[in-house]
Chain A
Amino acid sequence: MADAIRIDKLQKTFRLGFIPKTRPILKGISFSVREGEIFGYLGPNGAGKTTTIKCLLGLIHPDAGTIEIFGRSHLSPRSREPLGFLPENPYFYDYLTAREFLAFTADLFGLARKETGGRIARLLKLVGLERAADLPLRKFSRGMLQRAGLAQALINDPKLVILDEPLGGMDPLGRKEIRDIIVRFKDEGKTVFFTSHILQDIEMICDRVAIIVGGRIVKEGALRDLVSERVLFTEATVSGLFPDAFRGLAESVSVQGDRVLLRIFEESKVGEVLDLVRAHKGRLVSLSPRTETLEDIFVETVTRT
């Protein structure tokens, strides 16, 4: 499978102010995104996520290193033909209507006028903006703007969709919608590259991830490989027993009414706890093994760096 994106030793230092104060942002990062996969790009604030994307899109000129998009150097504007980009905050021309905006975007891709009309109609339906199609964008709510942004990112039926924090600021229903859309992209054969803070969502849908900290890639690989299936501990919620009863077996995390939340660190002790509960005629409210999550990896990686 070819690489949708290949970044090699990318470097960028910002020179700001009259007496240039240099601030190195990207210190030589390399990673690749394979075609057809969903790739998550994570890192703490200021690590260089957005800068990487801007280099990709030609908004920032790297000091050193190369970027290839489907084998084409990113320096050529043509490399952006198979791209669709949704920025974190939607900044669009507020005097255009949604329809006009999509038509304009289509023009920028050099799409033939004939097919644009149909495409725009379909996209508006897809993102649920049919009724607002002829309203000027300045009358759109933030959610509507987000959807308009999604539509413009898909106008050229891109092979690679780049999303910068697509899940930020959305309610759980919205986040589910976006997750479903991203998965649908993959089904359609598209490659998806996105940044996010919401690690649970990344864990749910990504094939591969890269973690960038302080301008360097500190972890890259398939999610499966990074996140082991090791059980860290088992959480059990029991009622009808006092916390002391579990001394030596488990750690009592909290008590609420007659419910005790326990953390059992040794797998062997789980059975003993269950026996104890049965013996005292207590009730097992819940039992869940807690495996290592992406968040754990992330926090550990970041604090280590």
Chain B
Amino acid sequence: MGKRVSAKKVPAALLLTVFLVATAAAFMALKVGADRIVRKKLPGSSIIYIPSGKFLKYATFGYRSLAADVIFLWAIQYYTTPTIDDRFDHLDHIFSIINELDPRYQDPYEVGALIAVQEAGDTRAAFAILDRGAANNPDQWVYPFNAGHVAMMTLKDFSLAEKYFEQCMKIPGAPEFVERLRANALFKKGDLETSWETWLDIYNRAADEEMKKIASNHLYNVKATIDAAALEDAAAKYRERFGHLPASLETLIRTGFLREVPKDLDGKDYVYDPVTGDVKTVVSPWRR
């Protein structure tokens, strides 16, 4: 500007600066104020039209992996926001999108299943997610493993658990205790014969003393369960006939309800309580 600056120009520049500061202050204040006003959000409304994973695969123009990352990141934030009441409505759908976009991205399967079980209480979604994980990653044993766990612990569906553990066992690299989990599931399921065979097999293949001990404990348990069931069943039949429980197990043999009194795996007798009709082992299977 010229040395003799006209008196009008200086205020103009100053005015402009003041104007800028004023408007900036104004909108910043408005923003803080607006943030305080809570806008009622239709729960999950922002995602009512989630496209399918297949559609997104094409729509993301080759940035599928990145899109999967971004959506997963968003999902984590979304699911850790407790104020969105209905956030679990589309849990499976959302994770299916992530899985579809990047089937080899392992974290979302596990995290999704975790959220499903722990937060949403939706085991169906958990299984859907884990099944997808297993299907897309047949080399990963964690998915049937986790699924088996969910079936076993949460759902108490031992048949399903056994299926998953069996599936898990078949995957190379699966830990060796899975077969024991399966054997246990079989037991819980009530298939005592297969359980016995399985434990026997484990016992025979046991690599060290500790494993042998564990297997033998289980075998003891299975046998004890089978025997106890048979004994209690005979006692119940006796009671039907005579109106009261037998005094001892030998009574059952004399009266023909039992051919012989079985012994436990260690060759010891079972303990019979004539008052309740219960048959127990003399020692706990796990503390032999």
Contacts and interface: CB of A to CB of B under 8 A. Distances in A.
A contacts B: CB pair < 8 Å: yes
Interface string A56-82: 000001101111000001011000000
Interface of A: 61-62, 64-67, 73, 75-76
A66 B8 contact: no
Contacts of B6: 73, 75-76
Contacts, number: 21
Interface string B1-26: 11111101100000000000000000
Interface of B: 1-6, 8-9
A129 to B, nearest CB: 38
Contacts of B5: 75
Describe A's contact surface by its main secondary structure: strand
A76 B1 CA distance: 12
A29 to B, nearest CB: 13
Closest 8 CB pairs of A and B: A73-B6, A66-B2, A75-B6, A66-B4, A75-B9, A65-B2, A64-B3, A62-B2
B55 to A, nearest CB: 43
A76 B8 contact: yes
Contacts of A73: 2, 6
A177 to B, nearest CB: 38
A62 B1 CA distance: 6
Contacts of A61: 1
B11 to A, nearest CB: 13
A73 B1 CA distance: 12
User: Which of A64, A65, A73, A76 gathers most chain B CB within 10 Å?
Assistant: A73
B182 to A, nearest CB: 71
Contacts of A76: 6, 8
Nearest to B2: A66
A218 B1 CA distance: 25
Contacts of B4: 66
Contacts of B8: 75-76
A73 B2 CA distance: 10
A73 B10 CA distance: 14
A62 B6 CA distance: 14
21 contacts: A61-B1, A62-B1, A62-B2, A64-B2, A64-B3, A65-B2, A65-B3, A66-B2, A66-B3, A66-B4, A67-B2, A73-B2, A73-B6, A75-B1, A75-B2, A75-B5, A75-B6, A75-B8, A75-B9, A76-B6, A76-B8
